[in-house]
Amino acid sequence: MSTVRTRLKTIGGTLVSVPITLFGLALVTFLIGRVMPIDPVLAIVGDRAPQDVVEKARLDLGLDRPLPEQFVHYLGQIVHGDLGRSVMTSNTVVQDIINFFPATFELATAAIIIAIIIGVPMGVWAASRQGKLTDQLVRLFCLSGHSVPVFVLGMVSLLVFYARLGVAPGPGRQNIAYQDMIDVHTGMLTVDAALAGEWEVFRDALWHLAQPAGVLAFFSLAYIARMTRAFMLNELRSEYVTTARAKGLSNSRIIWGHAFRNVLVPLVTVLFLTYAGLLEGAVLTETIFSWPGLGQYLTVSLLNADMNAVLGATLVIGLIYVVLNLLSDLLYRLLDPRVR
């Protein structure tokens, strides 16, 4: 009975914390829109509009009301899925996010898959050879992953593989010859091309995806490898590992069958938060490779003083973090019986 009561209390605490977090997120985005030195009215009507037009637009937007009243109205809009209309595209912000987010999702998912496939084994390998040349090389690689600016790596990558060697495609998501050849269902070109059976379009989209995903994955896998190494070193010093060695178990069984299973628990949180960071929109990567994702949309909107788009995209980014953090917490409980 006490176990059931504890689980219900945990679920109830989670259900209460999520709305509170989302409320705080909405409050922060609202205050950002009011603190920033950008007048949303002038962004709509222009800085040369007559004063009576400016005042009328301010009244229509409700910006003449007290801040608490404006915030309540803003919350009502969010609850009804209304994030306003973008001045830059003339579409609703929700529609813009639906259009731009799949490109970021495709790029971030490809990057995190590469980072996990390479970074996790690299970290385990380095930890099992602590102090040796392999370990030193992995640590050097992780250090370079945190030290080299992403815009430098992206520009060098384009210069070498696209401009000089000609082995990589240029910026963008696909060759202009393949544009509008397939129907859009998911917004992810590789998936849509595969669903349509257009394998030439698929190969072209995958080839365009490889370079920005590789650049983005470089920084993620350096972090994942470093954290995996740290978690593994902690486990390999544990008493149960010493006992397993005394029993004569093979090194691979100790590392992968015992130590790595315990590493999975904290590693899940690292992977989820890394993925959330990629999904928020890799602004510099998307800008350098002309990748029409959420990061580029947010940057262009900010440069054009399109506050509805900026606040809407910021709110979505925060929501992504909340949802993925919640999922990582649930998976954490599934993997570790002690937490349950």
Confidence of residue 150 (pLDDT cuts 50, 70, 90): confident
**Lowest pLDDT segment from 7-21, 134-148, 207-221, 254-268:** 7-21
Mean pLDDT of all residues belonging to the chain: 82
Q: Which residues pair with 85 in a beta bridge?
A: 92
213-223 pLDDT tens trace:
998 898 888 89
**Lowest pLDDT segment from 34-43, 272-281, 294-303:** 34-43
Is the CA virtual torsion 246, 248, 252, 258 positive or negative? Answer: negative
In the chain, the percentage of residues whose pLDDT exceeds 90 is: 12
Cβ-based neighbours of 15, under 8 Å, separated by 6 or more = none
In the chain, where the domains are located: 2-79, 93-335
Structure pTM?
0.84
Contact by Cβ (8 Å): 263, 235: yes
Confidence of residue 5 (pLDDT cuts 50, 70, 90): low
Q: How far apart are CA 201 and CA 194, in angstroms?
A: 8
Confidence of residue 173 (pLDDT cuts 50, 70, 90): confident
Given a cut of 90, is residue 181 above it in pLDDT? Answer: no
Confidence of residue 117 (pLDDT cuts 50, 70, 90): very high
Contact by Cβ (8 Å): 128, 251: yes
Architecture in CATH for domain 93-335: Orthogonal Bundle (1.10)
Confidence of residue 81 (pLDDT cuts 50, 70, 90): confident
Backbone angles phi, psi at 92, to 5 degrees: -70, 150
Given a cut of 70, is residue 6 above it in pLDDT? Answer: no
